[in-house]
Amino acid sequence: MTAARPAVVAARRVVVKVGSSSISGANAGQIAPLVDALAGLHARGSEVILVSSGAIATGMPFLHLNSRPNDLATQQAAAAVGQNLLMVRYQDSLDRYGLTAAQVLLTAGDLEHATPRSNAQRAIDRLLGLRILPIVNENDTVATHEIRFGDNDRLAALVAELVSADLLVLLSDVDALYTKPPHEPGAQRIPEVAANDDLGYVEIGEPGAAGVGTGGAATKVASALLAARQGTPVVLTSTTNVAAALAGEAVGTWFHAAAVK
């Protein structure tokens, strides 16, 4: 069967971003099928970079927290605990395929200044050359409110630009971009977004109620447009659709890449 999106199948370097609500708490079991899809992509010969949120959400139960903390110090403590546990969960799942994960923690300043930016690019390139799976997250333990990316959707778009990715896949708990919040009457799925589309006709709702992440539809749309305007096509879909998305099926919303000189 011919893929509906041949550019997906042809992509040799792919960045996949998954959000906190998709792989923590009651949804921690989604790590295994996510890894299944990433391992399948790796087996095709593609280079894979995972941008994963979830450190704070994963650490919260171990600090006896029922909701995301508001103060920076407790966020940093939860991230320090959760990042370790999150990597263990990913590696346990990757062991089924004989794959090895590498932790890459970044702050906004790392990508804004030439030396750390070059170091990050070189390290990721070398890991990919060694067939290691880089797992990137914001370095929440040391980041401050003033220098944070704000959400890992933007981080994923910047990483895609950093490594000259052929494809960016943004995963969440919603299967696509809709003309209005999908639970509202009359909401219609948007299958494709042209490179020059500003999506001014889209009604963006509030972030989800899960309370474990910092992003929402607005950040995903902004990040998808950022990556597409930098020359990287984007698939925006749900974590449960990741295998279909990476197989080139017409799931979610496809953001066409702009022609970059």
Longest dimension (CA), the chain: 52
Separation CA 181–CA 208 (nearest Å): 10
Nearest to 228 by CA among 179, 172, 177, 189: 177
| Terminal-residue alpha carbon distance, the chain | 33
Kindly list the distances between the CA atom of residue 251 and the CA atoms of 47, 196, 231, 254, in Å, as whole numbers in the listed order. 22, 21, 21, 8
110 is in an annotated binding site: no
Task: Classify 214 as helix, strand or coil.
Answer: coil
152 is in an annotated binding site: yes
Task: Classify 164 as helix, strand or coil.
Answer: coil
164 is in an annotated binding site: no
17 is in an annotated binding site: yes
Kindly give, in sequence order, each residue whose CB lies less than 8 Å from that of residue 35, ignoring residues fewer than 6 positions away.
Answer: 90, 93, 94, 96, 97
Instruction: Cite the annotated binding site by residue number.
Output: 17, 53, 140, 152, 172-173
Instruction: Cite the annotated binding site for ATP by residue number.
Output: 17, 172-173
Instruction: Cite the annotated binding site for substrate by residue number.
Output: 53, 140, 152
